Amino acid sequence: MKFNFSFIDKRQVSVKDDIMAGITVALALVPEAVAFAFVAGVSPIVGLYGAFMMGIVTAIFGGRPGMISGATGALAVVMVSLVAEGNQMGGDSAGLQYLFATIVLAGLIQMTAGILKLGKFIRMVPQSVMMGFVNGLAIVIFTSQLGMFKTNGEYISGSALYVMLGLVLLTMAIMYILPKFSKKVPAALVAIIVVSCIVIFGGVETETVRSFVIAKGGTGIKAGLPSFNVPMIPLNWETLRFISPYAFILAMIGLIESLMTLTLVDELTETRGSGNRECVAQGLANITNGFFGGMGGCAMIGQSIINIKSGGRGRLSGIVAALALLGFIVFASTYIEMIPIAALVGVMFMVVIGTFAWSTFKIINKIPLADVIVIVLVTVLTVLFDLAVAVAAGVVVSALVFAWENAVKIRVSNVTDRKGVKHYIVHGPLFFASTTSFISKFDVKNDPKEVVISFEESRIMDQSAIEAINKLAERYQLIGTNVHLRYLSGDCVKLIKRAEKICDVNILKDPDYHVAIDDYRKKVVDASI
């Protein structure tokens, strides 16, 4: 299954494109960071600081140029419980301090994962899980934007709704049409500027970034530079026991979402990033957040696609996005607060259209049923729960399907030579799922006193396979049959201790099994003639 991202240009790294793309991303980060901060139960400034620090650190040190990190909803939904419990333990402001400490610990876990090179395990994620992931994330991004159509907890209606829908559609139209004439400037940035000018100079009444922040309980996005502070919490065993489970969950969700996004961006740009380096960078960014007052985060698929689509390919795009966001907070908050929410929603809707793997509907009748089930399962779980649960479930189901399909491939052929020796030749992988079928292939009671079992066409995969060989050898021993095991690898022979005592275990050389072939097969054929 190959994703079709025809809306992405396979262009090279360009300073101009990186700068323009970075500014576009920064504009899109503002409402996202604010919204996720409120989800987590913290100030909008904490969310904006988190987006800035995640963005700048990962852009400089991360393993995937062009990928954008910031405050995310996947982590925010976990943080809300942490902050609430922290407030109960130490007062109204204690929850935020516990959050900072937890983010530091989560960052240390992520850095450890990168140092131990655990990022490579993202390769174990099947393509069907990836397809379910992008579909689920597209749906989540879409539904998250629907909240922008609310005022004071209620969906807008009447003329306000029509105005906002019109502005959203105008933004989308500009993003769709402009690239057909010119790709020198990001269509998303042009769309935001055009729609903002219409609203500001045309006196159009609609929701803006400022009204959105105020409606959420904030006063604006203006603030100073983030400052260094050590989280003010008790340094004792009780604190560690409280924050550790949250830190582990946040670290795992952050790594999974970041590595999955990295894989997707790799495919979009036809290049390859470093998962282990990204793990370290994500951890360093979260540690920085914990000491400088940010809510932390991870890679953001929506903003990453905006960046790539706008031409951002190098580290400069992420650096510009982070610095522009900080500039908005410190110097240009008045102007950024005037941007209509409709323009940013329109940009995100185009991201949804570009993110969703529409090819799913074309291939659904052409791929195995198990893959269809995995795609649907991961999509649904991503929407209902979170990415970590969805990916874990998808990988487990895929692994079980793989195990079952390989378990039924085990075959055992046999031939009796002119001397009355029965030769069994095992075909296919021998592992936990195929051991029962393997043992059933042998006629222990009716076999002659000399039996040879060849594993030249098989592979011993795990401890269950070794135990099955031991069990079979013991059955033959009970009736006085001599068993000769052939073509077992050296490492396997070392593990088959019991079978070595009750039968002849001989390592005949096999080049595909880390050893060289001798003329055993020729001897079997000659003896049977």
Choose between 34 and 135: higher pLDDT. 135
Within 270-300, where are the H helices?
Answer: 275-292
Alpha-carbon gap, residue 514 to 488, rounded angstroms: 10
| Other residues' Cβ atoms within 10 Å of the Cβ of residue 419 | 9
Entry pTM = 0.74
From-to residues of CATH 3.30.750.24 in the chain? 408-528
The secondary structure of 36-56 as a DSSP string is: HHHHHTS-HHHHHHHHHHHHH
**Which helix (H) or strand (E) covers residue 163, if one does?**
helix 158-181
Average pLDDT over residues 261-267: 88
Give tens-digit pLDDT for 464-511: 888 898 889 889 988 989 888 888 776 666 666 556 666 666 655 543
Name which of 29-43, 199-213, 376-390, 399-413 the model is least confident about: 29-43
Residue 421 has pLDDT above 50, yes or no: yes
Backbone angles phi, psi at 454, to 5 degrees: -105, 130
Q: Which two structure tokens, joined as six digits, stand for 42?
A: 């913290």
Give tens-digit pLDDT for 157-214: 999 999 999 999 999 999 999 988 887 778 888 999 999 999 999 999 998 888 888 8
Choose between 212 and 298: higher pLDDT. 298
Half-sphere exposure of 245 (CA within 13 A, CB side): 7
Cα distance from N-terminal residue to C-terminal residue, the chain: 49
Q: Which two structure tokens, joined as six digits, stand for 220?
A: 């604006």
Q: What is the CATH T-level fold of the domain 408-528, as seen in this structure?
A: Transcription Regulator spoIIAA (3.30.750)
Give residue 362's pLDDT band: very low, low, confident or very high (50, 70, 90).
Answer: confident
Q: Is the dihedral of CA 154, 159, 160, 164 positive or negative?
A: positive
Question: CB-based contacts of 430: which residues, under 8 Å, 6+ apart?
Answer: 410, 438, 455, 458, 459, 460, 461, 465, 468, 469
Alpha-carbon gap, residue 415 to 427, rounded angstroms: 14
Q: What pLDDT is attached to residue 60?
A: 96
**Which helix (H) or strand (E) covers residue 151, if one does?**
strand 150-151
Three-state DSSP string of 429-476: EECCCCHHHHHHCCCCCCCCCEEEEEEEEEEECCHHHHHHHHHHHHHH
Q: What pLDDT is attached to residue 512?
A: 44
Q: What pLDDT is attached to residue 171?
A: 93
Q: What pLDDT is attached to residue 498?
A: 59
Alpha-carbon gap, residue 41 to 77, rounded angstroms: 9
Q: Which of 75-79, 151-155, 203-207 has the highest mean pLDDT?
A: 203-207
Q: What pLDDT is attached to residue 23?
A: 93
Residue 527 has pLDDT above 50, yes or no: no
Q: What is the mean pLDDT of the chain?
A: 85
**Which helix (H) or strand (E) covers residue 150, if one does?**
strand 150-151
Residue 3 has pLDDT above 70, yes or no: no
Q: What pLDDT is attached to residue 500?
A: 61
Q: What pLDDT is attached to residue 483?
A: 87
Q: What pLDDT is attached to residue 19?
A: 93
Q: What pLDDT is attached to residue 5?
A: 47
Q: Which two structure tokens, joined as six digits, stand for 142?
A: 């879409």
